[in-house]
Structure 1
Amino acid sequence: MAKTILITGAGSGFGEAAAIGLARKGHTVIATAQISPQVAALRRKATELDLGRLRVEKLDLLDHYDVARAQTWDVDVLWNNAGLGESGPVSEIPLELVRRNYEVNVFKPLELTQGFIKKWVAARKPGKIVFTSSMGGLFTPAGWGVYVSTKHALESIAEALQQELTPFGIKVQTINPGAYLTGYNETMADTAFRWLDDAKNFTKRDALRATFDALLGQPEGHLDPQEMIDRMVDIVPADTGKFRNVCPQSVEDMLKKSQADAWNNTI
């Protein structure tokens, strides 16, 4: 059954590609982007691809006027895909960056979601909420602690929402991509180097860069994103499926082992 789907963070990466894929499948898609140039570019692409079901709108989660306007739209599925990534050692990262990462990845998506929940409950509408989490929502590699802690928070929020909203017929899911080569992880890895200073910080730039290169340089660090995009196009509009959706299978297996090993971790 065709759905009307609102996607945040559709100006690039997974969001943009999945928005196009969902529209091609016959769904009505409201693809939103943070800034006007992204909106204009995606509108041009929708026109070039003759995707009449793809509507592109501006939605900056930090702009309360944008959020209030978005909450007036009539949708069946809210896909919270927008996100921001800050890298660097938790022991030294400036707290203002931590707060901003939580604002964009946790507080603002929750604010948007609460608005739709209120509408759906009042209208007795069986909507659906999807959160783009991460493989990092289920384990914590050094150097990425702040970003993945926001995804850990989303995991808990999604679990609580699922239990709270089941009586109202509202479904909740998470999508947990592995390290697909969209440019997001590589760009996030660079963020620490705008504040990390060898003269001030005990974490040295070369050491952190080596940590990032070792992780992202593995085959598992640059997977073909089309696999995840295809999964997203199937998962987001579906009425049934798993609550948590990790892709690829090798990452799911790694995460399960990591979580089991945590019980034997020693100080």
Structure 2
Amino acid sequence: MSKRILITGAGSGFGEGVAIGLAQAGHDVIATTQIYPQVTALRNKAAELGLDNLRVQKLDVLDPYDVEAALKFDIDVLFSNAGIGEAGPVSEIPVELLRRNFETNVFAPLSLAQKFARKWIDEGRPGKVVFTSSMGGLFTPAGFGPYVSTKHALEALAEALEGELRPFNIKIQTVNPGAYLTGFNETMTETAFRWLDDSRNFNKRADVQAGFDALIGVPEGRLDPQEMIDAMIEVASNDSGKFRNVVPKAVEDMLKESQAAAWTHTV
């Protein structure tokens, strides 16, 4: 059955791919982007693909006027995908950068989900929120702590929301991508080098870069994103499914082993 789906952060990467894929599957999609140039670019792509059911609007999740306008849309599913990434050692990162990452990745998605949930409850009808989390919401590699800490927080909030909103027939799910090559991880790692200074910081730039390369500079860190896009489309489209959706399976297995090992980890 066709659904009305609003997706945030659709200006590039997973968001753009999912928006196009959902529209191609016959759903009515409102794809939102952070800035106006992304609106124009995605509208042009939709026109080239003949997707009359793909509407593109601006929605900066930190802009209260954009959020107010978005709440006027009549939707069945909110796909909360917008996010930013800060990387680098948490032992020295300026806390203001971490706070900014939490504003975009945690507080703004929670606020938007709250508002749509209240709208659905007031209207007496079901709804669903899908949050784009990360494999990093379930473990913490050194150097990626600033970003993955936001996803750990999002996982906790999503789990709480799932229990609280179930009585109102509002479903909550997360999608947890592995290390797919969308460009997000690569540009995120660059953020650390605008503040890391070898003359001032005890974390040295070369060591931090080597850590990044070990995780995302290898084939396992540069997976084809279409696999994840297909999984996201399936989660958004289905009326039921798992609460947490980690892709690929090899990453799910690794995360389970990592979580089990945490109980015997010594320092």
SS at match of 1:172: strand
Aligned to 1:118: 118
Question: Identity over aligned residues, as a percent?
Answer: 69
CA distance in 1, matches of 2:197, 2:77: 44
Aligned to 2:72: 72
By how many angstroms is 1:200 displaced? 0.8
CA distance in 1, matches of 2:217, 2:40: 34
CA deviations on 1:106-130 (whole Å, 9 max, x unpaired) are 0011111111011011111110000
By how many angstroms is 1:103 displaced? 0.2
CA deviations on 1:192-221 (whole Å, 9 max, x unpaired) are 001100011000000000010111122210
Aligned to 1:156: 156
SS at match of 2:242: coil
Aligned to 1:179: 179
Query: Is residue 135 from structure 1 mapped to residue 115 from structure 2 by the alignment?
Result: no
Query: Is residue 105 from structure 1 mapped to residue 108 from structure 2 by the alignment?
Result: no
Aligned to 2:217: 217
Structure 2 residue ranges without an equivalent (≥5): none
Query: Is residue 196 from structure 1 mapped to residue 210 from structure 2 by the alignment?
Result: no
Q: Letter of the aligned partner of 1:245 in structure 2?
A: N
SS at match of 2:165: helix
Query: Is residue 51 from structure 1 mapped to residue 40 from structure 2 by the alignment?
Result: no
CA distance in 1, matches of 2:208, 2:237: 39
**Counterparts in 2 of 1:20-59, with a 5 A limit?**
20-59=20-59
Aligned to 2:63: 63
CA distance in 2, matches of 1:109, 1:253: 28
Structure 1 residue ranges without an equivalent (≥5): none
CA distance in 2, matches of 1:39, 1:89: 34
SS at match of 1:264: coil
CA deviations on 1:73-124 (whole Å, 9 max, x unpaired) are 1100001100000000001000110110000000011111111011011111
CA distance in 2, matches of 1:61, 1:233: 22
Q: Letter of the aligned partner of 1:233 in structure 2?
A: I
Aligned to 1:88: 88
CA deviations on 1:128-186 (whole Å, 9 max, x unpaired) are 00000000000000000010010000100010000000100000000000000001000
By how many angstroms is 1:224 displaced? 0.5
CA distance in 2, matches of 1:3, 1:157: 25
CA distance in 1, matches of 2:237, 2:194: 39
By how many angstroms is 1:241 displaced? 0.7
Aligned to 1:243: 243
Count residues in correspondence. 267
CA distance in 2, matches of 1:200, 1:80: 38
Q: Letter of the aligned partner of 1:22 in structure 2?
A: L
SS at match of 1:10: coil
CA distance in 1, matches of 2:76, 2:37: 27
Aligned to 1:168: 168
Q: CA RMSD in A?
A: 0.6
Query: Is residue 9 from structure 1 mapped to residue 9 from structure 2 by the alignment?
Result: yes
Runs of 4+ in 1 over 3 A off after TM superposition: none
CA distance in 2, matches of 1:17, 1:84: 17
